[in-house]
Amino acid sequence: MRVQIFDNKLSLAQAAAHQAAAAIGRALAERGQARIVAATGVSQFEFLEALTKAPGINWANVELFHLDEYVGVPITHPASFRKFLLDRLVSKTGIRKLHFLDGDVPEPGQVVRRVGDELTASPVDVLFAGIGENGHLAFNDPPADFETEQPYLIVKLDDACRRQQVGEGWFANLSEVPRQAISMSVRQILKAREIVVVAPEQRKAQAVKASLEGGITPLVPASILRNHDNTAMYLDKDSASLLSEEIRRNNNPFMKP
């Protein structure tokens, strides 16, 4: 894993978008198409804005999946991750091939199976991710399932995760936040050829420290990213503020143990 620390969210976003655009461009050049997985949430705002402005990407040949979605939230709800990606990525690029997780159906298990089959039909070229305040990866809250090979799961959201959604302004109060979501599994995330992690802001500092300096454990789901050889984590000085002096000073690659 490579860790890079920037002065602010904007410079972080620009650098992460540059890597993401290069990964998409390589896939398009090699195979004529690219398969990507996009994350959502406040931490992704600046990154996706920069990525949609990257020159030279033939977005018509980009195939899009997303990491997770609430169960029971319609696409018209401000918190819908489908709405997020439509507004902040699809409408700005013209991506036509979409595989959205519709959690607002009577049987979300059918969506899990269908989109999972579509996802595993071919490798993912680059996956974008964040880190939750509780260390979650996608909606895999602690203790996360590190063993299942299912590409998508229906998971229970813990209270820390649900409080984060209120804190970010997606819901008015905790009672409005769904208790279940569809999430890409940990093992499926690690199958991506390249992973770009965007994790700014002070509120992520403790989770970042636990992910990089503690053990690799289901109790800190994002720690598993250290087992992926082609992951880059982009931090700002706030999210990196609790890291060891060596990592913050040298900004060197953080290798898996």
For the whole model, what pTM was predicted? 0.94
- At 255 the pLDDT is 39
- At 257 the pLDDT is 41
- At 14 the pLDDT is 97
Residue from 91, 122, 86, 123 nearest 101 by CA:
86
- At 254 the pLDDT is 43
Q: What is the pLDDT along the chain (257 residues), one digit of tens a residue?
A: 899 999 999 999 999 999 999 999 999 999 999 999 999 999 999 999 999 999 999 999 999 999 999 999 999 999 999 999 999 999 999 999 999 999 999 999 999 999 999 999 999 999 999 999 999 999 999 999 999 999 999 999 999 999 999 998 889 999 999 999 999 999 999 999 999 999 999 999 999 999 999 899 999 999 999 999 999 999 999 999 999 987 776 654 443 44
Give the CATH number of domain 2-197+214-237. 3.40.50.1360
| Residues contacting 53, CB < 8 A, separation 6+ | 17
Task: Express each pLDDT in 167-196 by its tens digit.
Answer: 988 899 999 999 999 999 999 999 999 999
